[in-house]
Amino acid sequence: MAQPALISVLISTYNTPERLQKVLWGYAGQTDRHFEIVIADDGSRDEVVAANKAALVASGLSHRYVWHSDTGFAKWTILNRAIEAATGDYLLMTDGDCIPEPDLIATHRARARVGHYLSGSYCRLSNQVSQAITQNHVAAAQIFTPKGLRELGPVSGSVARKLGAKEWGVASILDHLLRVSPTFNGNNSSAWKSDVLKINGFDERIGYGGGDREFGYRLRHAGVRPHRIRYSARMLHLDHPRGYADPEIIAKNRALIEQTQRDRVTATAYGLRDA
């Protein structure tokens, strides 16, 4: 059974160095150290880029930094540049507001299968809890248990159940029993780089909302089957405002996604390589 040689963790970010710092604390504490970080920066200001790079150096993590100028939301474009820069044979996609649990890399590596992609999950935190998290909290890993997280503030029942699954020893069972379709979620999903290249990466026409799921549909159309690790691989999602959602753009995205599903598109003509 083939396992990844090197995992490239692609982290999208934009002008939020304080969140990215917390995320990097999580990767610095991984039990599996054979990975690289590839930052996909969608046009952060110069001073933010400097802060991000300083945090990367301080983390001691192997890393690459990919940046382009700010032209509005262009996450899928910068992720395509990050895919090109990645040296790993396996890609883990995530965001700069998602703190990984200590065995996240190890879980993705252990569960990777040729011809499959993996779909993990996230636990959305309250603003109070998000603000309260410190480096010590991340290093101690207690925030990945319901009890430890509740010490920082209110925790929803769904988050407590998801975090409790490993503690109770039922994560793999729940992954198997869950009947929710495992979509490709850009905050915690992974795939072989060869499969990502086969579908020509992300569709750069898509704005905010849905580009990751469209990417997952094309993987499926290309014969790459989804595998659920919802309870085995969790992220803590830091709270933040979402003022960039535009109903008109979301409607356009929906039309593009429906076309991908209807026509069973595999490789986009608007991705890594132009048509």
pLDDT by residue (tens digit) across 190-210?
999 999 999 999 999 999 889
Given this model, what pLDDT does residue 209 score? 85
Given this model, what pLDDT does residue 1 score? 61
The one-letter amino acid at 258: E
CA–CA separation, 192 and 117 (whole Å): 7
Q: Where are the domains of the chain?
A: 7-263
Q: What is the 3-state secondary structure (H, E, C) of the chain?
A: CCCCCCEEEEEEECCCHHHHHHHHHHHHCCCCCCEEEEEEECCCCHHHHHHHHHHHHHHCCCEEEEECCCCCCCHHHHHHHHHHHCCCCEEEEEECCEEECCCHHHHHHHHCCCCEEEECEEEECCHHHHHHCCHHHHHHCHHHCHHHHHCCCCCCHHHHHHHHHHHCCCHHHHHHHCCCCCCCCCCCEEEEHHHHHHCCCCCCCCCCCCHHHHHHHHHHHCCCEEEECCCCCEEEECCCCCCCCCHHHHHHHHHHHHHHHHHCCCCCCECCCEC
pTM of the model: 0.96
Given this model, what pLDDT does residue 273 score? 85
Given this model, what pLDDT does residue 253 score? 94
Given this model, what pLDDT does residue 179 score? 76
Average pLDDT for 81-101: 99
Q: What are 118-175's pLDDT values in tens digits? A: 999 999 999 999 999 999 999 999 999 999 999 999 999 999 999 999 989 999 999 9
Given this model, what pLDDT does residue 180 score? 77
Q: Is the pLDDT of residue 96 over 90?
A: yes
Q: Give CATH for domain 7-263.
A: 3.90.550.10
Structure tokens at 144: 């990945």
Average pLDDT for 57-75: 97
Q: Is the pLDDT of residue 240 over 90?
A: no
- Of 23 and 247, which is predicted with more confidence? 23
Q: What is the chain's mean pLDDT, rounded?
A: 95
Q: Is the pLDDT of residue 230 over 70?
A: yes
Q: Is the pLDDT of residue 236 over 80?
A: yes
Region at 174 (left for phi over 0; alpha for psi -120 to 50; beta for the rest): alpha
